[in-house]
Structure 1
């Protein structure tokens, strides 16, 4: 899912979530994220709440 400001949250089948801005890079990720948390992250992205998303325990880079 990508919002108008080019922020993107991608999810793999294994539950790895990647969060990044497609224009400026700096990808971050979390592993084994439960489905309920993934939905919450997508909701925050849809609402444009990037500040709250950035407070999550992201690890640097791609998994």
Structure 2
């Protein structure tokens, strides 16, 4: 399964491993108004966007009928866990969370 990560500068990392995901999440310390998040996208169109304040957004960028959701106060460790699930293609496990839609 193909996946890629956008860092806080907008640069893309193809098929990131867990260490790369950690480094990219650490980059949220440098987030600004122009680049407020980092995101992991899966080839299915599903994407997780993480913001410095603990906001996590779940959306399908290729399906406008799929309603986006958000979680607040998500820990860095939980974001890493969810990034790992999405990278592995486990869409159902991520989607099963109590997303506010």
TM norm. shorter chain > 0.5 = yes
Find 1:35's aligned residue among 63, 69, 76: 76
Which ranges in structure 1 are unaligned for 5 or more consecutive residues?
none
Moved over 4 A (4+): none
Specify which structure has the bigger relative contact order, considering alpha-carbon pairs within 8 angstroms and separated by 6 or more residues: 1
RMSD of aligned residue pairs (Cα, Å): 0.8
Q: Which has the larger radius of gyration?
A: 2
Q: Give the TM-score normalised by structure 1.
A: 0.90
Number of aligned positions between the proteins: 60
Looking at structure 1, the residues matched to 43 and 62 of structure 2 have their Cα atoms a distance apart, in angstroms, of 11
Residue by residue, what CA displacement relative to the aligned partner does 1:8-38 show, whole Å, maximum 9, x if unpaired?
0001110100001101131100000011100
